[in-house]
Amino acid sequence: MKLFQFIIYVADQKVSTDFYRKLLLKEPTLEVSGMTEFELSSTLKLGIMPENGIAKIIAEKTQHPANGNGIPRCEIYLVLEDLQPYYKRALELGAVLVSEIEDRDWGHKACYFRDPDGHILAFAEEL
């Protein structure tokens, strides 16, 4: 495998791109109508695609992605050296805190937020 990319479907590409740009403190490596990509590492990318764009490809055999808005449809789990700056930025950007920072029984200290589209965003650091 050369590259792993996960793509979240969003109601508004610009809103989500701005949110993740400010949260991750990264500029997109691709930002065109219909797709934004953030390189998280040399083999991992986060993609942001408008719901209406992907619906044109998958609509014949699946529901429109907008039918799931507000329902957690995925989790982005970031293991960091220090989760505090991300926690603070997420609050400042209006992400909804779902679960406070706690020691978890899988060996991480982690907190959980909901992004503008309802996707779950977790920040963790090793205990």
Helix, strand or coil for residue 66? helix
> What is the tens place of the pLDDT at every residue in 89-119?
999 999 999 999 999 999 999 999 999 999 9
- Residue 21 pLDDT class (50, 70, 90 cuts): very high
Q: How far is CA 101 from CA 5, 96, 113, in A?
A: 27, 13, 10
Please report which helix (H) or strand (E) contains residue 122, including its range.
strand 120-126
What are the residues whose beta carbons fall under 8 Å from the beta carbon of 49, sequence distance 6 or more? Answer: 7, 8, 9, 10, 13, 34, 35, 36
Q: Identify the band that residue 48 occupies on the pLDDT scale cut at 50, 70 and 90.
A: very high
The rounded percent of the chain whose pLDDT value lies above 70 is 100
Encoded tokens for 108: 């991480």
pTM over 0.85: yes
pLDDT digits (tens, 9 = 90+) for 66-79: 887 778 778 999 99
Domains and CATH numbers, the chain: 4-126 (3.10.180.10)
Check residue 61 and give its pLDDT. 84
